[in-house]
Structure 1
Amino acid sequence: MTVGNLLVVQGGGPTAVLNASLSSIISEASQLKAFGRISGAQSGLLGLVNGDYVDLGGLSSRDLGLLRNTSGAALRTSRYKPCDEDFEKMLGHLRASSVHSILFVGGNGTMRGAEAVGAFCRNAGYELQIIGVPKTIDNDIARTDRSPGFGSAARYIAQSTRDLGLDIRSLPQPVSILETMGRSVGWLAGASVVGKRCEGDAPHLVYLPERPFAADMFLSDLERLLTRQDWAVVVVAEGLRDTERNLVYQTTNPSQFDALKRPLTGGVGEFLAKMVSDRLHIRCRSEKPGLLGRASVSHVSEQDLADAELVGRAGVHALTLGNSDKMVALLPLSGFEANKYDLVDLSDIAGEERTIPEDLLSDGPLSVNQDFISYVSALAGDLPEYFDHSSLQRNS
């Protein structure tokens, strides 16, 4: 086995704890002294193709401490999908820099890219170890109990939904629709329920991509709800799909497509708010934290930060033990397996998407059950205690 130099690649959407993984990778690799040089590829796979590397080994302990608590992707990231010619260029840069170990930190797309890079180098006879380090706010990576980035984003959504409800309750606005990120899965939208303490609290209706969305049923449920109280908070995932599995809303403007030529899914909240106003003839507004929901360092949860650091260290150790073509997979937070991990084959992850399992879903208005709430609560952490409005009594 040739360890050689280590290269770190950050891919896909940033999170509030992505750099915590990077910081722990650098710290662990430096301490173990198992690699010749530690570098980072700028802008994800694009930097890998262009040989755009930066030195990471010279960062001070203070730098690493600041990096740990910095949002975004310090190395910058991308959703670049290499073509056949790109792989030849990539290999040339790896050879020239004597890189024989790569850690890919990212989500599903990054893990597919890691598998493709490994297969190409293997076929070319170039010795290269590759380990995937999971990261995504969507929590949709297969074979891992949770993905670093999700817990903090879930905390943001849970707290924001709770605060939105208290604001609207104070000066009743008939309906507010909160849109969360989540192109294909509803983990974040479901997390909005974590801050709900009693039936009257927000959210009141939650809609996920895992359940077909029927507009007439939605309007009927909302109208029925408003006969019991004069305000409502509805939470929807941006990737909401109808009964034919088509996106309920997506832009048709090509200038708004992402690097993978996918139309942006954001905007379903505004679309549904207009539907409510037009068909029920009541005031309705939409809210969309968007990127703020994944970038807020002030909402980082303790467990999520610990997970991000753990997978970074585990990735380094996996390389030093001679592992390759694997991803670090977190085990459930229960019993003796708390804060433990396993290594799973990249080939078992690529192309697979982890939706919310049926045993965590509900047919009720909130779409998720108590087991889901318990699972997410452990990752998001405790929310602040608030004043109980029911303790206020009218004068007799």
Structure 2
Amino acid sequence: MANMLIVHGGAPTAVINASLYGAVKEAKKHGCIDKIYAAIGGSGAVIRQQFLDMKTVDEQRLELLPFTPASAIGTSRDHLEPEDYQAIARVIEKNDIKYVFFNGGNGSMDACGKVYSACRELGVDVQVVGIPKTIDNDIAVTDHAPGFGSAARYIAATVSEVSQDVRALPIHVSVVEAMGRNAGWIAAASALARSGNGDGPDLIYLPERPFIEEEFLADVKALVEKKGGVVVVASEGLTGPDGKPIVEPIFQVGRATYYGDVSAHLANLVIKKLGVKARSEKPGICGRASIAFQSSVDREEAILAGAEAVKAAVEGETGVMIGFERLPGAEYAVRPIRIPIQQVMLTERTMPDEFINRRGNDVTEAFVEWCRPLIGEPLRTFVTFKNDL
């Protein structure tokens, strides 16, 4: 018998604990696994050997995991140097750990690959498997990643409610800012808020297309004249034709970027240049790990990803990440696949051209059809009598 270790990395989500749950439940089925260690506090906790054996946790508490927001074991954005990966490999060997799982986004998959390489270099016999997690949906190769479906549901539901507000009192432009540095998947998902009753979002701006201020103002002006109230969704990572952020980042070190307030900037443009009332809304991390808007599909797939990672490791797979392949057919279905970790390490997946309209201020129906199954149950249906006259 040998031990296993699971590590959470990067920003939390609404379903990262569901993947932890899936991994723990699956590990308990295998007699070759003794202790089920969880690193309490992310990758740095591995070096400090801050481990909790999940087998000692009461079953009733474990059952709360799929419905608990963020990370129950803690996560981190620890910057690891080459010597740190060597240290992690030695800790793995010292604690008789045979199976290692990194549950996180691009940075965590990079760490997963580097731990895998460090163990090979030192001759440490271990199976290393990645479990994808990101609200941004920017992990390569896999159809989508656990965490995105819930974030998509949150932004769609929130924009749906904002749109009802603006339709009821159509006197201003509401600009909602969505998370997503270089990939516009979350902002794009706001399109699912549309009911066909003329509600918003009216405009969606993604970082995959250069933001052109003149076109934005022209679009807003035309919509204000037509509707009175307008709902705009903008990604936090918008850049101009010169490739520079439209609002200078407040702080930036390496991959860590703290963006300026894009929604406030756009609202101010509308006020100053069009003379129209405007408001900015920035849900921010409210939607990152919201259990209230957790997608049931996202939750079940996160559990599946955790379980499949353990299965892969026990079967002798190493240096891979669990991903999803969408199956053809009218009904939504996926199957788990095993992707070589080198194919996903720090490779950012952005919105493809076929999901973005030609003018760059909206998404296509192809994207809506692709995204709709991921948010789970249909959003609430609202009624309006403003179109009855």
Task: Give the TM-score, by structure 1 length.
Answer: 0.93
Cα distance between partner residues in 2 of 1:165 and 1:102: 45
Q: Give the Å deviation of 1:35.
A: 0.9
Which AA in structure 1 matches 2:126? L
Q: Give the Å deviation of 1:77.
A: 0.6
Match of 2:81 in 1: 83
Match of 2:341 in 1: 346
Q: 1:328 aligns with which of 322, 328, 336?
A: 322
1:295/1:173 CA distance change after superposition, 3 Å = farther
Q: 2:271 aligns with which of 249, 273, 277?
A: 277
1:44 aligns with 2:42: yes
Match of 1:116 in 2: 114
1:378/1:337 CA distance change after superposition, 3 Å = closer
Match of 1:373 in 2: 368
Cα distance between partner residues in 1 of 2:263 and 2:387: 34
Unaligned runs of 5+ in 2: none
In 2, are the aligned partners of 1:81 and 1:113 still within 8 Å (CA)?
Answer: no
What are the superposed Cα offsets for residues 332-365 of structure 1, whole Å, 9 maximum, x if unpaired? 1534992311101000111311111112221257
Which AA in structure 2 matches 1:166? Q
Match of 2:191 in 1: 193
Q: Which residues in structure 2 correspond to 1:198-217 (within 5 Å)?
A: 198=196, 200-217=198-215
Q: 1:159 aligns with which of 152, 157, 164?
A: 157
Match of 2:128 in 1: 130
Q: 2:92 aligns with which of 94, 99, 102?
A: 94
Moved over 6 A (4+): none
1:249 aligns with 2:244: no
What are the superposed Cα offsets for residues 311-349 of structure 1, whole Å, 9 maximum, x if unpaired? 011001001100000000111153499231110100011
Q: Give the Å deviation of 1:224.
A: 1.4
Which AA in structure 2 matches 1:345? P
Match of 2:258 in 1: 264
In 2, are the aligned partners of 1:193 and 1:366 still within 8 Å (CA)?
Answer: no
1:157/1:333 CA distance change after superposition, 3 Å = farther
Deviates more, 1:312-321 or 1:89-98: 89-98
What are the superposed Cα offsets for residues 197-243 of structure 1, whole Å, 9 maximum, x if unpaired? 22621111110011110111111111111111111010001011111
Which AA in structure 2 matches 1:287? E
Cα distance between partner residues in 2 of 1:378 and 1:233: 24
1:385 aligns with 2:356: no
1:364/1:197 CA distance change after superposition, 3 Å = farther
Deviates more, 1:358-367 or 1:99-108: 358-367
Q: RMSD of the alignment, in Å?
A: 1.8
1:368/1:328 CA distance change after superposition, 3 Å = same
In 2, are the aligned partners of 1:185 and 1:209 still within 8 Å (CA)?
Answer: yes
Which AA in structure 2 matches 1:131? V
1:298/1:102 CA distance change after superposition, 3 Å = same
Cα distance between partner residues in 2 of 1:121 and 1:337: 39
- Matched residue pairs, number? 387
What are the superposed Cα offsets for residues 157-204 of structure 1, whole Å, 9 maximum, x if unpaired? 111111001112222231110000001100010111112022621111
Which AA in structure 1 matches 2:350? T
Cα distance between partner residues in 1 of 2:213 and 2:45: 44
1:313 aligns with 2:311: no
Cα distance between partner residues in 2 of 1:250 and 1:21: 36
Partner SS, residue 151 of structure 2: helix
What are the superposed Cα offsets for residues 140-160 of structure 1, whole Å, 9 maximum, x if unpaired? 111101111111110111111
Q: Give the Å deviation of 1:388.
A: 3.8
Match of 2:236 in 1: 238
Partner SS, residue 55 of structure 2: coil
In 2, are the aligned partners of 1:14 and 1:295 still within 8 Å (CA)?
Answer: yes
Match of 2:146 in 1: 148
Q: Give the Å deviation of 1:271.
A: 1.4
Deviates more, 1:211-220 or 1:262-271: 262-271
In 2, are the aligned partners of 1:250 and 1:268 still within 8 Å (CA)?
Answer: no
Cα distance between partner residues in 1 of 2:360 and 2:334: 33
Match of 1:288 in 2: 282
Partner SS, residue 131 of structure 1: strand
1:158/1:15 CA distance change after superposition, 3 Å = same
Which AA in structure 2 matches 1:324? T
Cα distance between partner residues in 1 of 2:255 and 2:105: 18
Q: Give the Å deviation of 1:32.
A: 2.1
Give the % identical residues: 35
Unaligned runs of 5+ in 1: none
Deviates more, 1:313-322 or 1:94-103: 94-103
Which AA in structure 2 matches 1:22? L
Match of 1:104 in 2: 102
Cα distance between partner residues in 2 of 1:67 and 1:200: 39
1:25/1:285 CA distance change after superposition, 3 Å = same
Q: Give the Å deviation of 1:89.
A: 2.6
Cα distance between partner residues in 2 of 1:320 and 1:16: 27
In 2, are the aligned partners of 1:315 and 1:328 still within 8 Å (CA)?
Answer: yes
Which AA in structure 2 matches 1:12? G
Task: Give the TM-score, by structure 2 length.
Answer: 0.95
Cα distance between partner residues in 1 of 2:380 and 2:328: 24
1:357/1:261 CA distance change after superposition, 3 Å = closer
